[in-house]
Amino acid sequence: MDAITFPPAPTNEPNLTYAPGSPEREALTAELERQERREKNLKAYIGGRWKAGGGAEHAVVQPHDHQHVLGRFKGATQADTKAAVKAATEAASVWRDMDMDDRCAVLLRAADLLAGPWRQRINAATMLGQSKTAFQAEIDSACELIDFWRYNVHYAKQILTDQPIANSPGVWNRTDHRPLEGFVYAITPFNFTAIAGNLPTAPALMGNTVIWKPSPTQQLAASLTMELLEEAGLPPGVINMLPGDGIAVSEVALGHPDLAGIHFTGSTPTFQHLWRTVGENIEGYRSYPRIVGETGGKDFVLAHSSADPDVVRTALIRGAFEFQGQKCSAASRAYVARSVWDKMKDDFLAEVEAITMGDVTDFSNFMGAVIDDRAFAKHRTAIERARRSRKLDVLVGGTLDDEVGYFVRPTVVQGGDPTDEMFSTEYFGPILVVHVFDDADFETVGRQLESIAPYALTGSIIARDRRAVAWAQQELRFAAGNFYINDKPTGAVVGQQPFGGGRASGTNDKAGAAVNLLRWTSPRSIKETLVPPTDYRYPYMG
């Protein structure tokens, strides 16, 4: 259609409260009961068809009740992957030649379906499969994913309007924002349904076709997201979903000449493995694959002596323990001025001790279980080490129980030595290490925390004294891609705080922002000369 069009202006989807007696709580409860009753047969989605993978069987369980199976699937094999690459290749020309508005309409419809009839289906799957409370599911699988889809439409349209600002006399310059040549490989983590939905759809919006490999532990909500996109009108072959651990998928996808890009979120070691493999295969690709990855963090809170102790206490509890500390943004190390610590310590530890934890279908719980036995074992090792160390003191928590679910009590460890590995290792669980410093040492401690960890994802400064805020904002400029002042370091909102970090935390191609979408385009500059010259000689030649 030859028209300049304006899609609906994006606004952030409001969070529903799920307060007792609210209609959303009633609808969510009914959906939770429905999904708990029925074991789902989960399949791969290739070329618009649902089919069982040919690989090993996996069970998706409730982390807070690990004997309760929600669904089963068979992992994708090399043959499944080859079929998916073929489907993506066949779908490519129709999809990329489609008007941007048609592609936008698919995502806008997906967003509206998710805001409406699909909301509680995907929230319930996220609660049960990933052990999120109702509120944590709502901000992720409903609001953030809706926001990704609506804001990305806005940014994609904006990118099309980015055109050359100069034309020499007799010349018209244009930019053609082409998709990449080949397929994009999207690999997604267990912890955010929104990220899992965004990583394949962002490149697709820009006209690419995609192979999507979700995390096995997030497969229930991932499958529903794929169903939703199908209902939204996504043509067959545009996104091909391959369940499983990804080993067989990578063997084919990373070695394929048409690999055009990787859109990854997950741990730093996995990302480094993918990057290394691409490097090893570099001569075999048709183009240089775009590699976009958001990875781990060791996110900090720095509390100055002027900080309000109640603000620090609340930021630490929410920042470190919501969703069991399994946000890449979660506060996992805190540096607190002694005068503030002395005022907050007792209340803080008592509140952490009192945190309610258990089955997330019981709405009185603040926390659920960690994702699986591997995570549970990792946290146990970290806590046992802290108990053994003479330099670390477990102040509260430190108990674990995996009889029914993978439960790790929220744990606060005090560390006198800020070079201990607890201040630099990502455990990705409900473990917060605190270093208490003399008020006068604020700047020394700030400089030390700047580079003790290899990551640079999120961080907060909490202070009332503006000089401390200004100092931290400047000194810690490269220590976090998302920096918070007087707030917890979690909970970035699409359109407000574009999310991503540098150093070992990733390529910082901010999710849900125009800079991310640009990575999925290969611009073509077009110069049209309106009345071309007909004599090769220049005037200076006489």
Ligand X SMILES: N[C@@H](CCC=O)C(=O)O
Active-site residue set: 294, 328
- In whole angstroms, the minimum distance from the beta carbon of 325 to ligand X comes to 10
How far is it, in rounded angstroms, from Cα 142 to Cα 174?
A: 38
Residue 250 interacts, among ligand X, ligand NAD, none and using kind-specific CB cut-offs from 5 to 8 Å, with ligand NAD
- Which of 140, 144, 426, 509 contacts ligand NAD by CB under 6 A? 426
- In whole angstroms, the minimum distance from the beta carbon of 497 to ligand NAD comes to 12
H runs (alpha helix) in 501-542:
514-518
Show the binding pattern over residues 366-405: x = contacts ligand X (CB under 6 A), - = does not: ----------------------------------------
Q: Which CB, 245 or 475, lies closer to ligand NAD?
A: 245
Contact between residue 73 and residue 58 where contact means Cβ atoms under 8 Å apart: yes
- Which of 149, 155, 442, 499 contacts ligand X by CB under 6 A? 499
Q: What is the CA angle 273-279-282, rounded to 5?
A: 140
How far is it, in rounded angstroms, from Cα 210 to Cα 241?
A: 8
Show the binding pattern over residues 300-329: x = contacts ligand X (CB under 6 A), - = does not: ---------------------------xxx
Total site size for ligand X, rule CB under 6 A: 9
Q: Which CB, 42 or 307, lies closer to ligand NAD?
A: 42
Which residues between 49 and 78 bind ligand NAD (CB under 6 A)? none
Q: Which amino acid is at 14?
A: P
Taking residue 14's Cβ as centre, other Cβ atoms within 10 Å add up to 10
Residue with tokens 């995609």: 210
Residue 200 interacts, among ligand X, ligand NAD, none and using kind-specific CB cut-offs from 5 to 8 Å, with none
Bridge partners of residue 301, in order along the sequence = 334, 460
Structure tokens at 191: 């912890």
How far is it, in rounded angstroms, from Cα 364 to Cα 323?
A: 14
Q: Does 299 bind ligand NAD (CB under 6 A)?
A: no
Show the binding pattern over residues 328-347: x = contacts ligand X (CB under 6 A), - = does not: xx------------------
How far is it, in rounded angstroms, from Cα 336 to Cα 37?
A: 47
Residue 119 interacts, among ligand NAD, ligand X, none and using kind-specific CB cut-offs from 5 to 8 Å, with none
Nearest Cα to Cα of residue 386 among 395, 394, 378: 394
How far is it, in rounded angstroms, from Cα 399 to Cα 217?
A: 24
Residue 490 interacts, among ligand NAD, ligand X, none and using kind-specific CB cut-offs from 5 to 8 Å, with ligand X
Contact between residue 143 and residue 111 where contact means Cβ atoms under 8 Å apart: no
Q: Which CB, 216 or 397, lies closer to ligand NAD?
A: 216
| Interface positions with ligand X (CB under 6 A) | 191-192, 327-329, 490-492, 499
